[in-house]
Structure 1
Amino acid sequence: MKYTAIDLFCGAGGLSAGLEMAGFTVLAGNDLFDAAGDTFSATHPHAKFIGGPIQELTVERLMEATGLKKGELTVLVGGPPCQAYSVYNHQRSMFDARATLFREYLRIVDGMRPEWIVMENVTGIYSIGGGEAVRAIKSELAALGYDVEEQVLKAEEYGVPQERRRVVFIGNRVGAPISHPEPTHGPGATPYVTIRDAIGDLPSLQNGEDRGDVLYASAPSSDFQRLLRGNAVSVANHAAPKLGKVNIDRLEHIPPGGSWRDIPFELLPAGMQRAKRSDHTKRYGRMTWDGLACTVLTKCDIHWGAYIHPEQDRAISVREAARLQSFPDSFEFAGSKTEQYVQVGNAVPPLLGKAIGDHLVSLVEKSRQRAAA
């Protein structure tokens, strides 16, 4: 176990999956969400899932579960629940109890004393309290002896077929220089992974159809599909949510790249009949094969974003959302369909996690070589 990790607020394990791709051994994960814990346990067989609120998680319990002593862990990672920081939450405040959960992360940092730490959150964390949350995180980690730098990373620049922005904090207590991974995709680099690259091999579905495990519709046609399929011959969680007739009637009018503006006025919801044409640009959006997905949220609700399939008159399935998040097809999400969407939308995209993990390995190696010299 050259590089070890513990994942707090781990959810289904997207960040853990990325770290494992980079060569880390994830020893434990903690989350309050039981269905996510079932997914994490099934997809991270070498890790111990510890369920329950982080307030009840003790350092002693983590040490017992991992066999580690204080100071032996390579990296502690975690993304405290982001709803309090999100721009979608209009009641954001440092007084929101969720906004102080990072202090529980800090408590575990103090007890475990990992060499490195990684925290991720939504970009809305910059504006809450005029930047108070970011300043608090950095100052409190500094008080524990950790130098920390943060940067906004764009998931699409690391091979994820989705426009997604996340603030990633990286820090260490060993005095090593801190940097963030360089982009690998975009203009002048490897082309972005498109929606066709991501989901073009999945079988078609009718609105509301669920056929259980299904065979792929075709051989893989992109490196992304080959990577995520691995050795699988069938795929789970590919079930379309059931939309009512009024929504199906609306979808018929929306072309690829279109939105609510393409729906006849008399078919629009009452609230949107009063909306400005310049507002709500993603609502009732239909994806385009050659584009990127909008940010995958915990509900792929067509009323809130561009979650309509490029060709089929339906909302995207859990599996399609998972592909757009770069989850391997070996991940079978537990729980109800609603809980599955939540797990997918809350996750760090595994390929973004891999980019962070690969870069972290290089930083760790350089710091260890410097210490040994």
Structure 2
Amino acid sequence: MDNKKFKVASLFSGCGGLDLGFIQSSFEVVWANDFFREAVETYKQNIGDHIILGDITKIPSNEIPDHFDILLGGFPCQGFSIANIKRSMKDERNFLYKEMLRIIKDKRPKYFLAENVKGLLSMQKGKVIEMIINDFQSLGYDVDYRLLKASDYGVPQHRERVVIIGNRLGLKNPFPKKSHGNDEELLPFVSTKEAVGFLSKARIRDKSFILNGQRIFNHKARTNVHDKFWGRKHQVNQHDICDYLKYWRAKSGWSTKRVDEHFGYAHTAGHWFRKDNNSGSIPNPSDWWELKKILGFDDKYDQQVTELELKPITFEQSLRINNWSTPSDTITATGPEIHPNRERRMSVRECALLQTFPMDFEFIGSLGNQYKQIGNAVPVLMAHKIAEEIKKELQLHDQQANRKTRIEVLK
């Protein structure tokens, strides 16, 4: 019985981090789906051809196999992310989890596992996670969720993710126990240097190569460590600008509230007329020119406020330098951290290792797409540890069912 392979279907599979963790725990993925073409190509090359490229909202349930044991789904997180200050329940990406609801309702798997970003817990002051849990429970599933930190499970990365597990069998919704940390009874965290230090002096390149007898794929990286941003060319004193704008606002008869309403802001304009506790701000160039239209001020500060130039972001400003001695910060889908040598960004291979992908897992697509695939993935090792706990519950359920069947036969 312990050799039985439980079956998995997977939504929003990406390049396969979550699926691979379950495969490493002897689950069989019978069907997977994603809309990201390069991620699907990567998945096919490394995991299997059972992944379907397409929009899940356009795939009817009858095209998905029946009788799988668990449904996985790292539903898209862009709208939920705490990095997205405009996140809202109106963002249609936030409701793709309802495709999971549809498949669960139609296929009735024994378990489901959903994964998302930490920001999901605080969105709409907790109303979003409450809504999602209630929706899953309405299908007849016992549901639990936790915020898990990948580094607690041996992943060399301080990545936090919300994991939601549900089942309809009356079993536990198991979460793995912490194995790593700073407590004496735990193993020490795995550091960035332990995971990728051996690549630090290897030249980045597009083609694979042999290092210490092992083939290395995707050791390529962005080299723009001195990123630039548009900043004001001239020194500007916010208090002087504030006094100037307050004078012209009073002269024009416009109230702060009316200015806010004109720009469509909630409170932003109020900060243009405030200098207490250093909470004030200076309008950006486009807002400055619009203010000039409605308040009618002169040309005194036009040049100082509106002339911009490209300025370098220093390492300290970017706060994105990896630290050798600790687990990495979260590997993101947009831009990898600067390597500790400060000569380049972390390579695709280094990011993949920090996400605990195997060394021979090769990523397909442009450099930016490869970074995106890795940043969107679930760390393979964390997925594996969750899968092991769920497998134990499923095996226990089967053993109890078989025992009950034998008793019935003997009667």
Q: TM-score w.r.t. structure 1 length? A: 0.80
Q: Matched residues in 2 for 1:30 and 1:202: separation?
A: 33
Q: Is the CA contact (8 Å cut-off) linking 1:300 and 1:316 kept in structure 2?
A: no
Q: Quick one: which amino acid aligns to residue 344 of structure 1?
A: I
1:358 partner SS: helix
Q: Quick one: which amino acid aligns to residue 62 of structure 1?
A: I
1:171 partner SS: strand
1:242 equivalenced with 2:223 (yes/no): yes
Q: Deviation per CA, 1:11-34, whole angstroms, max 9, x where unpaired? A: 000001100111111111100000
Q: Quick one: which amino acid aligns to residue 9 of structure 1?
A: F
Against the structure 1 CA distance between its residues 271 and 320, is the aligned structure 2 distance closer, same or farther, given a 3 Å change threshold? closer
Q: How far 1:284 moved relative to its partner?
A: 4.2
Q: Matched residues in 2 for 1:200 and 1:168: separation?
A: 30
1:131 partner SS: helix
1:201 partner SS: helix
Q: Deviation per CA, 1:287-331, whole angstroms, max 9, x where unpaired? A: 232211110001235xxxxx1212351111111111111111121
Against the structure 1 CA distance between its residues 349 and 189, is the aligned structure 2 distance closer, same or farther, given a 3 Å change threshold? same
1:347 maps to which residue? 377
Q: How far 1:159 moved relative to its partner?
A: 1.1
Against the structure 1 CA distance between its residues 73 and 281, is the aligned structure 2 distance closer, same or farther, given a 3 Å change threshold? farther
Q: CA RMSD in A?
A: 2.2
2:76 maps to which residue? 81
1:190 equivalenced with 2:187 (yes/no): yes
Q: Quick one: which amino acid aligns to residue 61 of structure 1?
A: E
1:260 maps to which residue? none
Q: How far 1:205 moved relative to its partner?
A: 4.8
1:290 maps to which residue? 325
Q: Deviation per CA, 1:30-81, whole angstroms, max 9, x where unpaired? A: 0000000001111112x51111111012221112xxxxx3xx2110000110
2:171 partner SS: coil
Against the structure 1 CA distance between its residues 6 and 360, is the aligned structure 2 distance closer, same or farther, given a 3 Å change threshold? same
Against the structure 1 CA distance between its residues 204 and 119, is the aligned structure 2 distance closer, same or farther, given a 3 Å change threshold? same
Q: Is the CA contact (8 Å cut-off) linking 1:155 and 1:164 kept in structure 2?
A: yes
Q: Quick one: which amino acid aligns to residue 113 of structure 1?
A: R
Q: Matched residues in 1 for 2:219 and 2:189: separation?
A: 24
Against the structure 1 CA distance between its residues 192 and 244, is the aligned structure 2 distance closer, same or farther, given a 3 Å change threshold? closer
Q: Quick one: which amino acid aligns to residue 34 of structure 2?
A: D
Which runs of 5 or more structure 2 residues have no equivalent in the other structure?
Answer: 229-308, 405-411
Against the structure 1 CA distance between its residues 214 and 15, is the aligned structure 2 distance closer, same or farther, given a 3 Å change threshold? same
**Which piece of structure 1 moves more, 283-292 or 320-329?**
283-292
Match of 1:34 among 29, 33, 37: 37
Which runs of 5 or more structure 1 residues have no equivalent in the other structure?
Answer: 64-68, 220-232, 248-267, 274-279, 302-306
Q: Is the CA contact (8 Å cut-off) linking 1:119 and 1:170 kept in structure 2?
A: yes
Q: Is the CA contact (8 Å cut-off) linking 1:204 and 1:312 kept in structure 2?
A: no
1:12 equivalenced with 2:15 (yes/no): yes
Q: Is the CA contact (8 Å cut-off) linking 2:22 and 2:384 kept in structure 1?
A: yes
Q: TM-score w.r.t. structure 2 length? A: 0.73
Q: Quick one: which amino acid aligns to residue 84 of structure 1?
A: G
Q: Deviation per CA, 1:91-132, whole angstroms, max 9, x where unpaired? A: 111111011111111101111110000001011111112222
Q: How does 1:45-64 map to 2 (within 5 A)?
A: 45=48, 48-63=50-65
Against the structure 1 CA distance between its residues 175 and 237, is the aligned structure 2 distance closer, same or farther, given a 3 Å change threshold? same
Q: How far 1:360 moved relative to its partner?
A: 0.7
2:166 partner SS: strand
Q: Quick one: which amino acid aligns to residue 291 of structure 1?
A: T
How many corresponding residue pairs?
318
Q: Quick one: which amino acid aligns to residue 355 of structure 2?
A: Q
Q: Which of the pair has more CA radius of gyration?
A: 2
Q: Matched residues in 2 for 1:282 and 1:370: separation?
A: 58
1:144 equivalenced with 2:147 (yes/no): no
Match of 2:340 among 272, 288, 310: 310
1:168 maps to which residue? 163
**Which piece of structure 1 moves more, 194-203 or 34-43?**
194-203
Q: How does 1:210-289 map to 2 (within 5 A)?
A: 210-216=205-211, 218=212, 233-243=214-224, 270=311, 283-289=318-324
Q: Matched residues in 2 for 1:49 and 1:272: separation?
A: 41
Q: Quick one: which amino acid aligns to residue 174 of structure 1?
A: L
Q: Quick one: which amino acid aligns to residue 219 of structure 2?
A: H
User: Which has the larger share of helix?
Assistant: 2
Q: Deviation per CA, 1:172-198, whole angstroms, max 9, x where unpaired? A: 011112231111111221221111111
Q: Matched residues in 2 for 1:90 and 1:284: separation?
A: 19
Q: Is the CA contact (8 Å cut-off) linking 2:113 and 2:165 kept in structure 1?
A: yes
1:200 maps to which residue? 197
Q: Quick one: which amino acid aligns to residue 18 of structure 2?
A: L
